[in-house]
Structure 1
């Protein structure tokens, strides 16, 4: 979500988009405390955990939009924004595994891909900058929706009719499966693109 800023003077890091990024980082422990309380079985706390997660993801969209619109993309934002995103996503996936909502392989597959691509970006940055793709954005949307539905699974199970809970569970797993597939496909695509771009950069 960050792009190079044009202009003679770099913008100050003290701005609203960066403040929202910091807020998102600070919300991570709050989210985890709410999710992990009472083994994740309290529907009220799970609902609050969902609310914090959703609010944090909204700040992700807002800070990127404002930074681009106001042309105040900073070096701090370039570093802190992906850290905030991955910290929130990792805490949600690992937290949902701890409380028994997700099997261990789900966070393992997604997080190995996420952090693997991050490492890849740092390795090849001396030659090329690996741009975000439309598939990567779709992956984020699918992951966010799936995690949100999984967070609300306990309240839906306890508060709504059984048929609704079954339907909710099926849809949540369909979206999560789609997210995992897109996560893996885009990860492979990033690796192929990075190899080609580095090879072309070296040849040039």
Structure 2
């Protein structure tokens, strides 16, 4: 269990703590929401950090290849599902984003059965970053027309890059479907 893998496990362990502060609001609004936001930022930061360390020090493991993207999906999807309940994000956007994750995960499994490894693409990384920025912004809970407009733009951008990355993965690896 090297440092990058420990950071990935930490990200997963922070999810229930994040959700507790976001949904249970033990400190009351808006303090609990800001604590949840801080936890989300810390957890999101471990994503970039674990990948950087793993590549720089050649600490890439099968565990990391499996758990790192799963940890990202669990963190972001947990946040978005909780934010549906809070009225911060429309369920349709979350359904599209989660559907993409299931589709691409299934696609990668089929490819894996044929001995093909589908690495993360630039669009997939942009998708993850866009989703994390959207969640962070929405967690701020800003009020007003401008704040609402910016939130809606971030939601639309997240959905756009989610769909674009799915199309990109499938198009570039369409041979897997034959």
Q: TM-score, normalised by structure 1?
A: 0.81
Question: Which deviates more, 128-137 or 89-98?
Answer: 128-137
Alpha-carbon distance in structure 1 between the residues aligned to 2:41 and 2:173: 32
Larger radius of gyration between Structure 1 and Structure 2: 1
For the pair 1:151 / 2:130, whether they are aligned, the reply is no
Alignment partner of 2:166 out of 167, 172, 187:
187
How far apart are 1:101 and its partner, in Å? 1.2
RMSD (Å) for aligned C-alpha atoms: 1.7
Superposed, 1:88-167 pairs within 5 Å as 88-127=75-114, 128-153=116-141, 156-157=142-143, 165-167=144-146
Give the distance between the partners of 2:25 and 2:90, measured in 1 at CA.
19
Distance in 2 between residues matched to 1:83 and 1:143, nearest whole Å? 15
Distance 1:73 1:130 in 2: 16
Structure 2 length normalisation: TM-score? 0.92
- TM-superposed CA distance for 1:198, in Å, is 6.0
Give the length in aligned residue pairs.
176
Superposed, which structure 2 residues align to 1:71-86 within 5 Å? 71-86=58-73
1:177 pairs with 141, 156, 162, which one?
Answer: 156
Shift of 1:187: 0.8
- Over 3 Å off, 4+ runs: 196-199
The Cα of 1:63 is off from its aligned counterpart by 0.5
**Structure 2 counterpart of 1:54, from 33, 41, 51:** 41
Q: Corresponding residue for 1:42?
A: 29
Matched, 1:33 2:12: no
Unaligned segments of structure 1, at least 5 residues:
1-13, 158-164, 200-204
The answer to whether the 8 Å contact 2:25/2:33 transfers is no
Q: Distance in 1 between matches of 2:118 and 2:2?
A: 26
Structure 2 gaps, min length 5: none
